[in-house]
Amino acid sequence: MVNRMQFYIDGAWVDPAVKKSTPVVNPATEEAMYEVALGSKADVDKAVAAAKRAFATFSQTSRDERVALLSKVIEVYKGRLKEIGAAVSDEMGAPLPMAEKLQAGAGLGHLMTTLDVLKNYHFEEPVGTAMVLREPVGVVGMITPWNWPLNQIACKVAPALAAGCTMILKPSEFTPTSALIFAEILHEAGVPKGVFNLVNGLGPEVGAAMSEHPDIDMISFTGSTRAGIDVAKRAAPTVKRVSQELGGKSPNVILEGADLTKAVTGGVMHMFNNSGQSCNAPSRMIVPLSKMKDVAAIAKAVADKTKAGDPRAEGTTIGPVVNRGQWDKIQGLIKKGIDEGATLVAGGPGLPEGVNKGFYVRPTIFADVTPDMTIAREEIFGPVLTIIGAKDEAEAVQIANDTPYGLAGYVTGASVEDAKRVGRQIRAGNVNLQGVPNDRTAPFGGYKQSGNGREWGKYGLEDFLEVKAVAGFNAA
């Protein structure tokens, strides 16, 4: 039985300083499933004190000790994959098979990749007469979102453990159970007390207390750009490191000569995956203007086959979005698209046919979108695709880069060479060519208002390391 009314601090489950809770609502039924405790500054102070004490010894552990620890975490995690998947499905609405395979699987993938990196990473490097040492940054505050809960928790916790850091995690209040299971996994794996701590709570209370805390050396934040700005402002007076993975409005450029059916079908399916609730979703499809009608027809065929329904029912493609607030925001933006003159190709406002409850969004496609329309500029975070026409390759690149965001970009051309040429010009931290998915060993993160710092693989480990130059170390 998962313990939702206590926090995990200093190796034990403890009561909150003040009794306060919030309901966790199943987005498929709109019904509250249970309550989860909410923390306060006092709980954060207690967790930080534990992490600070633990850092003195955990930071001095050897690579072999941390390899053994991560290996044990992986072993225990594997035994709870199905349970994690079920929790994610119930709390944020992902279809159960997708939640088990991709949501829970992503956490396992990051743990395993980090273990491989740790085994071979060079923490010491001679540079002239100096030795450059890479040492753990210290106590890390982690704030994670609801859309890919285990992906974001594991790609922070795994490298922090590998680096020798100690940490406090505040998961999203909308998806607390998978994070609590993760705490149980770390406890069972023998993570020393105080190294990992978990405090549930709200951003303006627990998140703010963490961002401002003088004994937290780094904040690793994933969420909206608006919340990321607030975290950075609060962190500034203590000059702590702030690593952020924020919003996106990622372009999907389909070039003249590309296999249109394959590129458009893949792009729409990717956009609708996870109900469009991915920061790197290819939400702006930029196509040759002359092909707009053909593209719209292909996209509509995919939307018509996309079934929004019960996450546990067979044949469901996408589940609901996470909560009422998100549903209302998405509905407002769909209406805005219609009001501003975009062509509604599929979907539209309201619930899908045959559905009378749950936060379900109709798989929606707009064609003839212009770059100045609201739906082309704002992150919708739902299954809503905008199709924009470009008269040539140069204009396609210009439209792709005409955004305050820069998390991801996608390019499909007649050849890899065509895709490479355009991919080099896109101002984003991740660019996918010819439908090839991300590689967990490569860095993940954004340009511009999509954040700073990098996660995943070797680059993710280095985000949690300080660099020390010791002159004279190599002197004769």
Query: Hey, what long-range contacts does 118-121 have (CB within 8 A, 24 or more apart)?
Result: 118/63, 118/66, 118/67, 118/70, 118/162, 118/461, 119/63, 119/67, 121/63, 121/162, 121/458, 121/461
Cα–Cα distance, 28 to 313 (Å, whole number): 11
Residue 321 burial (10 A CB sphere; 0-12, 13-18, 19+): buried
Which of 173, 212, 279, 455 is an active site residue? 279
Catalytic residue among 100, 173, 212, 245: 245
Answer whether 99's CB lies under 8 Å from 150's CB. Answer: no
d(CA 475, CA 101): 53
132 phi and psi angles, rounded to 5 deg: -95, 120
Is 155 one of the annotated active-site residues of the chain?
A: no
245 in catalytic set: yes
**Whole-number Cα distances in Å, 125 to 132, 134, 426, 468:** 5, 9, 34, 10
**Other residues' Cβ atoms within 10 Å of the Cβ of residue 71:** 15
Report the distance separating Cα 445 and Cα 348, nearest Å.
32
Cα–Cα distance for residue pair 300/322, rounded to 1 Å: 24
Catalytic residue IDs: 245, 279
